[in-house]
């Protein structure tokens, strides 16, 4: 949806954020806390990555938004509307692609999309439905029963369901799991088009290269807490550094945890290479020569060496405390 249409329908004086999550908590009866004061803001018109390791709380947050989980405390606003007191309005203005695939096996994709429109109180827009089926490469399967569709086709039908009522915010929870590489690329091209026309997209994915390429904003949660939330450029500028990699003849799989000689450089193993941190905003800067000399002193001369700039995956692993000696 184009930004001027959002202003026309929802008011131009509204917040610049499509979604505001404020101090959201979810605790279960067994005492486990899935979310602890999670806060993040998704700018209108952004392509926003919500990242975290398995069990971090991403799906809990999305399930709260989808009204399948009740929060313990906190609030969420969608385009300035309270998601818990204005639930019907928010449901009509948000589309969610869940991880789980569930359809009535006796309806066709076209029938499913027509019914979903009715659930949102809308008359089916057949031109838009045909466009969705075409762009999501389901047109030739539009009149098959959903039980005849492959897993990848069913996942694309979930995306069509989330888009059929033209919501200003779309939540994609691992939308391309099980989708082949070429089709995934075409799906993202289409999502980019929708985003450029004004649709705000909130994405969870374990494909961090994909997130870095697609998204302009990012939040990282771990163990139910927000540990970073900013524009992608700010995160990479303020947190990312560079590292020295060295390749040795032996296959590297483990570093001693008491590695005192290299401890200053936060050593880790990546693709059989020893990687040593050179500079980061949060650490004292070290030079290539210092790191190289320390590695040579401990392990001898390497077969090959080079310097790389950290990417989103490096930052993610470090912030979620996964940068270990293994």
In this structure, are 230 and 267 located in the same domain? no
Domain that holds residue 62: 3-93+167-236
Is residue 271 within 8 A of residue 245, CB to CB? The reply is no
In this structure, are 12 and 84 located in the same domain? yes
In this structure, are 159 and 183 located in the same domain? no
Q: Find the CATH number of the domain harbouring 88.
A: 3.40.50.300
By CB atoms closer than 10 A (0-12, 13-18, 19+), residue 30 is: exposed
244: left (phi over 0), alpha (psi -120 to 50) or beta: beta
Number of domains in the chain: 3
| Of 150, 91, 101, nearest in space to 121 by CA | 91
Instruction: Give me the residue label for tokens 């979903």.
Output: 116
In this structure, are 12 and 143 located in the same domain? no
In this structure, are 172 and 86 located in the same domain? yes
In this structure, are 17 and 150 located in the same domain? no
In this structure, are 175 and 84 located in the same domain? yes
pLDDT, tens digit, 9 for 90 and up, residues 240-280? 888 899 998 875 555 666 567 787 787 888 888 888 888 76
- Is residue 153 a part of any domain in this protein? yes
Q: Judge whether residue 323 has pLDDT over 50.
A: no
51-56: Cβ within 8 A, 24+ apart: 51/204, 51/205, 51/208, 51/211, 51/218, 51/219, 51/220, 51/221, 51/316, 52/204, 52/220, 52/221, 52/222, 52/320, 53/222, 53/320, 53/322, 55/223, 56/221, 56/222, 56/223, 56/224, 56/320
- Is residue 31 a part of any domain in this protein? yes
In this structure, are 114 and 75 located in the same domain? no
- Is residue 184 a part of any domain in this protein? yes
pLDDT, tens digit, 9 for 90 and up, residues 149-191? 888 888 899 999 999 999 999 999 988 877 788 888 999 999 9
Three-state secondary structure call for residue 298: helix
In this structure, are 72 and 191 located in the same domain? yes
Query: Strand (E) positions, 53-160?
Result: 73-78, 81-82, 94-97
**pLDDT value at residue 3:** 41
The structure's pTM equals: 0.81
Q: Find the CATH number of the domain harbouring 284.
A: 3.30.70
In this structure, are 303 and 177 located in the same domain? no
């Amino acid at each position: 949806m184009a930004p001027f249409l959002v202003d026309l329908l929802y008011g131009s004086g509204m917040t610049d954020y499509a979604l505001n999550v404020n101090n959201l908590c979810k605790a279960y009866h067994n005492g486990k806390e899935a979310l602890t004061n999670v806060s993040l803001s998704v700018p209108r018109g952004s392509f926003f990555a919500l990242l975290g390791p398995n069990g971090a709380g991403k799906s809990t947050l999305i399930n709260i938004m989808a009204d399948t989980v009740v929060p313990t405390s906190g609030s969420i606003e969608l385009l300035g509307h309270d998601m818990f007191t204005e639930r019907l309005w928010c449901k009509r203005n948000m589309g969610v692609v869940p991880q789980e695939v569930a359809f009535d096996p006796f309806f066709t994709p076209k029938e499913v999309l027509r019914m979903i429109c009715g659930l949102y109180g809308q008359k089916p827009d057949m031109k838009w439905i045909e466009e969705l089926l075409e762009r999501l490469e389901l047109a030739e399967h539009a009149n098959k029963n959903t039980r005849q569709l492959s897993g990848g086709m069913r996942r694309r039908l979930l995306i069509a369901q989330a888009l059929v009522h033209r919501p200003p915010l779309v939540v994609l929870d691992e939308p391309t799991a099980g989708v082949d590489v070429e089709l995934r690329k075409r799906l993202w091209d289409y999502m980019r088009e929708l985003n450029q026309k004004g649709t705000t997209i909130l994405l969870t994915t374990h494909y961090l290269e994909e997130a870095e390429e697609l998204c302009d904003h990012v939040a990282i949660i771990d163990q139910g807490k927000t540990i970073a939330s900013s524009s992608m450029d700010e995160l990479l500028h303020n947190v990312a550094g560079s590292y020295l990699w060295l390749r040795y003849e032996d296959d590297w799989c483990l570093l001693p945890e008491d590695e005192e000689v290299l401890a200053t450089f936060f050593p880790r193993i990546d693709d059989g290479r020893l990687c040593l941190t050179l500079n980061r905003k949060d650490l004292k800067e070290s030079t290539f020569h210092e790191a190289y000399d320390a590695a040579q002193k401990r392990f001898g001369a390497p077969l090959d060496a080079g310097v790389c700039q950290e990417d989103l995956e490096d930052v993610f692993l470090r912030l979620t405390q996964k940068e270990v000696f293994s």
